[in-house]
Amino acid sequence: MAFTPLLAAWSIWLGIGISARVSDIRVAQQLGTLASIPMVVVTSLVAFDVIHGTIGLAVGCAAVLLILDGFGWRILSGTLNRERLITGTH
């Protein structure tokens, strides 16, 4: 439950980064789905006990997600063009 906001923030930053660079909505959606596959694989491996969940693993994953979310905010927030989102033009 503690990872839900971290994973949501990371997926939002991925979506913003992809949407900022791709002009076709269908391509952006497909690339966003492909970009989320590593998160799905890791969470599935932990859920099916292939990777044994430990406190160290949880803290490490939380730290990595915090770092990725921080980089996403710093780097990708500048690439978002709000006018293009509203008007739909380049």
> Where are the domains positioned within the chain?
9-85
Cβ burial 49-68 (10 Å sphere, 16+ → b, else e) = eeeeeeeeeeeebeeebeee
The torsion angles phi and psi of 73, rounded to 5 degrees, stand at: -65, -45
Q: What pLDDT shows up at residue 1?
A: 64
79 pLDDT more than 90: no
59 pLDDT more than 80: yes
Q: What pLDDT shows up at residue 90?
A: 59
Q: What is the CA radius of gyration of the chain?
A: 15
